């Protein structure tokens, strides 16, 4: 069964591929696939998500937090965060939203993960203001760079979202952890 095709304890990059990329950031599919693989749903408020920054936030852990004990989470601990960013708040433009799927891992070498993301997508990343990320569309299992869209005016985003699915992927290192992020631009 496709829902249980990977273990809850998979390494972070494969988790990102299985939960975020292969589901096309379909938030219902992401949640169903995570639960089927043994991930534990937790209240989003427990990880600081109250719905003010991300609409309909959901959070999952690859281990049951009741098993942490005094030692805290295991070394292979991962968290999954999903939700939507409102176009008005994110881009200052109405008519679009950005659905988000993020895998947060306590272990992960940012350079290695970037190389794996580049190899998996087969396109060059964009470097902007010191950040490395990928802007792309997809046709089945093939990916196409859409970095030229970065030069467009934000007012064009609703039209683009209606014409094609545009993804934004990247890594966010923070406090010894790394977030593997995938977002998709959708009409709202």
| Whether residue 69 has pLDDT greater than 70 | yes
Q: Could you report the per-residue pLDDT of 79-136, keeping only the tens digit for each? A: 999 999 988 887 778 889 999 999 999 878 889 999 999 999 999 999 988 889 999 9
pLDDT of 16: 97
The predicted pLDDT at position 153 comes to 86
User: How confident is the model at residue 5, as a pLDDT?
Assistant: 45
- Rounded CA gap, 112 and 3, in Å? 27
Mean pLDDT of the chain: 89
**pTM for this entry:** 0.89
Residue range 9-65, pLDDT digits in tens: 568 999 999 999 999 999 999 999 999 999 999 999 988 888 888 899 999 999 888
HSE at residue 70, side-chain half, CA atoms within 13 A, is: 0
Q: Provide the domain limits for residue 97.
A: 2-187
- How many domains in the chain? 1
Contacts of residue 136, defined as CB under 8 A and 6 or more positions apart, other chains included, come to: 121, 123, 143, 144, 145, 146, 166, 167, 169
pLDDT at residue 9, as a whole number? 55
- Using CA atoms, how far residue 24 sits from 28, 105, 117, 176, 185, in Å, is 11, 20, 15, 28, 11
Taking alpha carbons only, the member of 77, 130, 125, 131 closest to residue 104 is: 77
Tell me if 111 sits within 8 A of 15, measured CB to CB.
no
Backbone φ and ψ for 52, nearest 5 degrees, come out as -80, -35
pLDDT score of 8: 53
């Amino acid at each position: 069964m496709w829902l249980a095709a990977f273990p809850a304890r998979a390494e972070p990059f494969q988790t990102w591929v299985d939960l975020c990329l292969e589901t096309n950031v379909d938030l219902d599919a992401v949640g169903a696939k995570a639960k089927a693989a043994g991930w534990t749903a937790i209240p989003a408020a427990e990880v600081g998500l109250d719905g003010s920054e991300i609409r309909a936030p959901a959070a999952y852990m690859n281990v049951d937090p009741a098993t942490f004990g005094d030692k805290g989470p295991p070394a292979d601990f991962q968290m999954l965060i999903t939700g939507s960013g409102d176009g008005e708040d994110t881009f200052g433009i109405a008519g679009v939203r950005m659905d988000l799927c993020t895998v947060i891992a306590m272990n992960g070498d940012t350079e290695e993960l970037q190389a794996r993301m580049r190899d998996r997508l087969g396109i060059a990343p964009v470097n902007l203001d010191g950040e490395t990320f990928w802007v792309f569309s997809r046709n089945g299992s093939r990916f196409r760079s859409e970095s030229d869209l970065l030069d467009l005016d934000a007012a064009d985003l609703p039209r683009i979202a209606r014409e094609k699915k545009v993804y934004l992927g990247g890594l966010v290192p923070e406090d010894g952890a790394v977030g593997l992020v995938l977002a998709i631009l959708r009409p709202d």
